[in-house]
Chain A
Amino acid sequence: MFCDSLIALTMLTNFALVTTSRVAKVIQLAVLQGIILGALPLAMGLGVHPHILAMALCAVAVKGWFIPFLFRRALRRVKTQREVEPYISYGASVVCCALGTAMSLMLAHSLPLAPGTTHPLLVPAGLATLFTGSLLLVSRKKALTQVVGYLVLENGIYLFALMLVEEMPLLVEAGILLDLFVGIFVMGIVINHISIAFDSMETHHLAKLRD
């Protein structure tokens, strides 16, 4: 029961993410979601496996501490703190997010589950979070918010991966950890380069290349 509320909470954070305009707030929400996801395997009773415990701790450490640290440092360097005029307005984003969540529920409903699955909610929650991440990625202009979108997208994959982590620990953990560390690490470097080169983090500076 507790798990299901955590999963529902994750889906609620999705909605909060697409409506928030202050960049610092978006980062906080992403951190919150990361920590909820870190706690989820423990709530599911997977904490008895030391390797899953280690993976959850890594996820919390990276998403709850390291990434916000990188982001805040980058944010201090630039002045504007608000996402102005996203490509898709906040109202429309909520509608999109709701539609995406509904579609995820429908898609998940049509997929059969292995007998004995204890947390069927993970599939729609994973898909909905994936969708939210993609929405943030395509609809926001700031490089930082886009990276947050990428993080949320990762969270969606992580949610689904929890379905498989007991049966196929090797595949799941290698994938999750590599994605987490390497992807984020490199994005941190690039963000750093962008904020130095442009003295700003708006991606519309990054729009010279077009047809």
Chain B
Amino acid sequence: MAWYLILLPLAAAVLALALPRGSARVRLLPLTAVLHLAGLLAALGRGGPLRPGTWLGLDPLGGWVLLVISVLFAICAWYTPAYLALRPNRDNRVFVACFLSFLGLASLLAQANHPGLVWVAMETLTLATAPLIYFNKNQRSLEAAWKYLMIGSVGIAFALLGTLFIAYAAHMGGIREPLYYDRLAREAALLSRPWLRVGFILCLVGYGTKMGIAPLHTWKPDAYGETPGVVGALLAGGMTSCAFLSLLRIQGLMAASGEGPFSRGLLVAMGLFSMAWALVFMVRQGDLKRLLAYSSVEHMGILLFGVGLGGPAVGFALFHLAANALVKCVLFLSVGNIHRSYDARQLPFVTGAIRRTPVSAWLLLLGFLAITGTPPFAPFISEFNLAVLGMGPGRLWPGLAFMALLAGVFLAMSETLVKVVFGTPSRARARTPYRDTFGTTAPLVAALLLTLALGLWLPRPLAVMLRSSAAMLEAHP
């Protein structure tokens, strides 16, 4: 089953490259998404613990992240045909192929049971997504793709060194190749602590760059700004989740070897710093896609903050991973629609969207309320609980700072978004032929309904999965 999840999208990608007709190619996307999701659900339903000593396997943590990515991909794949129909003059061969290989490589990363394999998957994922950023084939998108590749590659190089340091820590402890994660976690007490610490810091820098936490996020506003909204959704919800998972695997080792307090302190500090940095750049940010990119920087900070708090907060951080991915999907896709309608994505051109594209504007508004933690949407559950847990016994400041930053982000985002949605329609921009259709809005509604459902009720199997994933990150020596 592990191979099915990896090879199905990759085979579809090869097929997409080979198919001569664009319309047939586009139909591969939803088809692959459904088959992948079905296969994943079957694999998760069968469950059972990871067979020790294997390169690939679906453990609860990887399974949870892959489930989020697969659902996100399904929504994006449902939306993409309608989007590509709006851009008939662009060749979609490379776009569709890269889109599909993203899913295959993410499946590889989520199931990899070896630090080296995780790293390889992350590297190939970076390369496979770069052409998506260059989709518009103009100078601005070339600049964005260059920054994405350059900064991403440097980050990946740091992660490689971190991985080698952890391998050296294992070598010092007398653990021989192959270094499966389950085995390293079992024998974590043998790992050399100084090497593990430095390795963790290097991996935090490396995978943190890929996640886009401040101050390593500089590629993010450019890349998300210049790509189609659907690529932004895929990167902000999927790619960053992959990088976060890679970091979590190392965090699991840190906890298991008794170095948990060291890494958790770093994670809380980095998380709050990211949120603060994002807030500064969100104030008076008139560019919608860049605003969302900084929102993504903020939410990566929330994820680190949650894992850094430890204990019950870890489960909420993992829950937030899903909540963030779904709401980011709504936000990026609705902004993409509005961008199509105005042929612009900045204030003061984009105002009064509620009259031009009412459905997309409402979805953007609801998505904004959801991401900033308004009940009853899913992010409320995680953000509220993280704030409460941040003020737990023996600590007060983390929780207070967290709440203050969330409030600031709400104000900063609302300033721009209220103008965009409710402002007086500007006459500066002629109306393009774009109209909200079923194809460009139904996937967003589905994502929003899922967010709402998760906010009201967490199905039992998912709760069990979350609990066992959190336990993997909170192992004690």
Contacts and interface: CB of A to CB of B under 8 A. Distances in A.
12 contacts: A111-B194, A146-B150, A161-B164, A169-B177, A186-B127, A190-B149, A194-B142, A206-B142, A209-B140, A209-B225, A209-B226, A211-B221
Q: DSSP class of B's interface residues: helix, strand, loop or mixed? A: helix
B171 A211 contact: no
Contacts of A174: 116, 120
B149 A194 contact: no
Nearest to B198: A111
A211 to B, nearest CB: 6
B143 to A, nearest CB: 4
Nearest to B177: A168
A175 B147 CA distance: 22
B144 interface: yes
B116 A170 contact: yes
Interface string A127-166: 0001000100100000100100010011011001101100
A136 to B, nearest CB: 11
B157 A179 contact: yes
Contacts of B178: 170-171
Contacts of A112: 172, 192, 194-195
Given A130-B161, A164-B168, A209-B222, A153 B144 contact: no
A110 B178 CA distance: 27
A169 B177 CA distance: 9
Interface in A167-190: 167-172, 174-175, 178-179, 182-183, 186-187, 190
A164 B150 contact: no
A156 B158 CA distance: 10
B285 A183 contact: no
Nearest to A176: B160
Given A150-B157, A164-B168, A187-B149, A175 B143 contact: no
Interface residues of B, number: 46
Given A164-B164, A198-B139, A208-B140, A150 B123 contact: no
Interface string B141-165: 0111111011001101100110111
Contact of B281 (A167, A168, A211): A211
Interface string B11-23: 0000000000000
Contacts of B123: 178-179, 182-183
Contacts of B153: 150, 183, 187
B379 to A, nearest CB: 25
A191 B446 CA distance: 41
A197 interface: yes
A48 interface: no
Interface string B117-145: 00110011001001000000001101111
A111 B222 CA distance: 38
A190 to B, nearest CB: 6
A143 B285 CA distance: 29
Contacts of B139: 197-198, 205, 208
A114 interface: yes
Contacts of A208: 139-140, 143
Contact of A206 (B146, B225, B285): B146
A178 B144 CA distance: 24
B161 A160 contact: yes
A183 B159 CA distance: 14
Given A171-B116, A171-B167, A182 B124 contact: yes
Interface string A110-129: 11101000000000001000
A114 B172 contact: yes
Contacts of A167: 171, 176-177
B290 interface: yes
Given A157-B160, A209-B144, A186 B149 contact: yes
